[in-house]
Structure formats: structure tokens, C-alpha cells
Chains A and B, each alone.
Chain A
Amino acid sequence: MSLSTIIFYLLATLTLVSGFLAVTTKHIFRAAIYLLFSLLFIAGIYFWMHYEFIAAVQIVVYVGGIVVLIIFSIFLTHQSGQNLPKQKLGRTIFSALAALCGFILILVQVYQHQFVGTIERSVEASISNIGSQMLGVSDNGYALPFEVVSMLLLAAMVGCIVIALRTPKEIKEGGL
């Protein structure tokens, strides 16, 4: 068993364990930290697969951006140290069963299916390749989706500001 294999299984285990803890732990702050680790290990898997750019994006956007945003909102909306409200047992069991059923269904499908890949020469996922194709307008270019996504981001930005903005009445009454 090569080192690479060991690393892979290690990463996989850590990802799943920290992901599982992130959804089950009672402390919200810990949940955020477990999530952060889970995302980091996923970035590790990307590294293992030699997709360094994606791994970097994962770390920068998820770990550096989204998780920080989440922690921020925890601060805004929570007295820290408080335990999360407990869910009813029946709901927990039912959800676990439903998730398990879906999991098994999909796994069975995955293992039954014969995946057939291409045999053509592979393209290196280097930053220059990704960059030129992302903005390319040729056959494999992604300029249009890129523009669309940029529009979406703009709209989302405007949207959050509008949603989070307090109305003048609320400002007068004080509060958050």
C-alpha cells in the first residue's frame, strides 16, 4: 500500500468524520470549526488529485470566505456557549433512515454502473490552461457562463444589501 493510498484514505476518513461532527455537535461554534476542517480536507483531496488551482480556490473562498462569514453570523445572532436546541428523537431517526436509504440507493447505482472514460491525451489543469479557456470564446470557451456568473454575483450582492438593510422605522426603534 503506497503512501499516496494511505494519504487518500486518511483524507477521506478525516473529511467524513469532521463533516459528520459538523452536523451533529451540540455547540454551534464547534460545528463551524468542524466544517472548516472538513472543507480543508476536501481541499486536500483536490491536491491529491493534482488539481492545485481548485484546491487553492477551495481554501481561499470556502475556508477564508464562507466559513468566516458563517462564524460572523454566529456572532451576530447567537449568545456563544449556548447549546443548540435539540431535535426530536423521532425526527432524528426518520431523517437518518431517509438519508441512509438515499445513500444506499445511490451507492448501489454507482457500483453497478460501468464508467467508460475517454482514452484521449489528458490536458493539464494548469492555471494558464484554465485561464485561457475560461475567457475563451472558441469551442471549449467558457466566456459566456463566466459573464452570467458575474452578473449573478452582482445581483446577489445587491440582493443581500437590500435584504439586510434596515428600514428607517427599524433604525428609529433601535435594535440590531
Chain B
Amino acid sequence: MQPGLNQILFISTALFFIGVYGFFTRRNLVTILMSVELVLNSVNLNFIAFNKYLWPNRLDGVFFTVFIIAIAAAEAAVAIAIIINLYRNHQSIDVEKAEEMKY
């Protein structure tokens, strides 16, 4: 079967829900961050695919991808700063233990 838009969308959807699954099941904050990176990548893939197959006359998808990568980098940095801070306060980065903000 000739690969096309649908195949790439399949990949990105699958990757998205793999990321979501990881987000739900992991307890370590760093691994949760990894899952988020997967989700972001699936979105990037989507943008590029749409750009290539539907609107090759424009470069909008490319720009969105570039911006998302930049923001992802910033987000990763902030997330890691938060993780380190949490680790300092709790001696752990298990999300199940960081549950002060409840009823």
C-alpha cells in the first residue's frame, strides 16, 4: 500500500495515545515528561503531514512545527526545574506522593 496522508495520521494518532497511556500509567515525573514529549512529536508529525499532502503551496505547517519544537524545549526546561524543586522538597519525584493539593 502506497504510504500517504492516512498512514502518517495513523502513526501520529498511535504515537499520541502511546504518549497519553504513558502519561496515565507512569508514576515518575521524568517519565511523564517523556510521554508528553511523545505527544508533542505526534502533533508535529501531523502538521508536517498536512503541510505536505494538503497544502504544499504554503509553509505554515513547517512554521508551526518549528515553533512547537522551540516551545517544547522551553517546556522541558521549566518542567525539569520544577522536578528538581519537587525532588528537593520531597526527596522523591513520585506523583502519587505529591498530593498535598487535595480536599
A residues with a Cβ closer than 8 A to B are 4-5, 8-9, 12, 15-16, 19-20, 22-24, 28, 31-32, 35, 38-39, 42, 45-46, 49-51, 53-54, 57-58, 61-62, 65-66, 69-70, 72-74, 76-78, 84-85, 87, 91-92, 94-96, 98-100, 102-103, 106-107, 110-111, 115-118, 120-123, 125, 129-130, 133-134, 140, 142, 145, 149, 152-153, 156-157, 159-161, 163-164, 166, 170, 175-176
On whether A54 and B65 interact (CB within 8 A), knowing A85-B28, A115-B54, the answer reads: yes
Most buried by B among A20, A51, A66, A164: A66
* B contact residues vs A (CB 8 Å cutoff): 1-3, 5-11, 13-22, 24-28, 30-31, 33-35, 37-38, 41, 44-45, 48-49, 51-60, 62-63, 65-67, 69-78, 80-85, 87-88, 93-94, 96
Residues of B contacting A23 with CB < 8 Å?
18-19, 21-22, 25-26, 31, 34-35, 38
Known: A115-B53, A156-B74. A73 touches B83 (CB 8 A): yes
Give the top 6 A-B pairs by smallest Cβ distance, nearest first. Answer: A23-B22, A122-B56, A95-B24, A156-B74, A117-B54, A160-B81
